[in-house]
């Protein structure tokens, strides 16, 4: 396995999972940032990396945009996405479908008839209910809870410890802030926070978060 882009703290969890599964790290490629690896014996800068054609890779970045950019860079070097990496402590149903390049971290629990797209990240101790569907490049934070029949659009982030109530739809490239409780649909590119979660926007002049009505 080649780890591509190793500046995210998440890389240490990936290392642990690979160790538990007895999967060898062939190379850990550093791309524009300080590496967070525990074992740096396989570390190599991307400028010095001679990519073995067709070798499987996994990207460890949490932010979807960063992960997407690293995937594109790895593909351009002739690497291919690895099959989804699943920690052995995760509880998964037989009916689960997992795309390529994803990582399901330790302690995750996923309900039946769920579908995870390509390059999806589900972080530690998150819980996904039955009939959950995650689009490509979705990131689920540690301890997040998604109840049954949830749809999360491509490129979205569900923050740590947040709760998504049943039958809610999260649009593409949306962000649910950590600790939020989401009771209603979130549109594409939306940003919500709080309990109950409310839409927010950035005021570039004040450099602060504001609700949609300006409060």
Determine, yes or no, domain membership for 97: yes
pLDDT in tens, 50-105: 888 889 999 989 999 999 999 999 999 999 999 989 999 999 999 999 999 999 99
Determine, yes or no, domain membership for 214: no
Share of the chain above pLDDT 70, in %: 93
- For residue 127, give its domain range: 84-196
Residue 187 shares a structural domain with residue 95: yes
Element at 23 (helix H, strand E): none
Task: Indicate which residue of 19, 119, 130, 131 is catalytic.
Answer: 130
Residue 183 has pLDDT above 90, yes or no: yes
131 is catalytic: no
Residue 214 has pLDDT above 60, yes or no: no
Residue 50 shares a structural domain with residue 148: no
pLDDT in tens, 141-159: 999 999 999 999 999 999 9
d(CA 16, CA 11): 9
Residue 34 shares a structural domain with residue 108: no
Determine, yes or no, domain membership for 6: yes
d(CA 80, CA 54): 5
d(CA 29, CA 184): 40
User: Going by DSSP bridges, is the β-strand pair 85-86/103-104 parallel, antiparallel, or unpaired?
Assistant: parallel
């Amino acid at each position: 396995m080649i780890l591509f882009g190793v500046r995210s703290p998440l890389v240490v969890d990936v290392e642990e999972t690979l160790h538990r599964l007895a999967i060898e790290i062939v190379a850990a490629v550093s791309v524009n940032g300080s590496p967070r690896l525990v074992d740096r014996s396989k570390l190599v800068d991307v400028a010095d990396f001679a990519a073995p054609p067709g070798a499987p890779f996994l990207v460890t970045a949490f932010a979807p945009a960063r992960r997407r950019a690293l995937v594109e860079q790895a593909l351009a070097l002739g690497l291919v996405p690895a099959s989804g990496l699943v920690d052995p402590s995760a509880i998964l149903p037989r009916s689960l479908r997992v795309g390529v390049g994803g990582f399901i971290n330790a302690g995750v629990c996923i309900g039946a008839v769920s579908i995870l797209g390509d390059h999806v990240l589900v972080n530690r101790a998150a819980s996904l209910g039955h009939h959950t569907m995650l689009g490509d490049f979705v990131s689920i934070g540690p301890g997040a809870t998604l109840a049954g029949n949830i749809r999360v659009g491509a490129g979205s982030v569900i923050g740590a410890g947040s709760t998504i109530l049943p039958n809610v739809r999260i649009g593409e490239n949306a962000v649910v802030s950590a600790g939020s409780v989401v009771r209603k649909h979130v549109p594409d590119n939306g940003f919500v926070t709080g309990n109950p979660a409310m839409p927010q926007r950035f005021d570039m002049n004040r450099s602060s978060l504001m609700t949609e009505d300006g409060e």
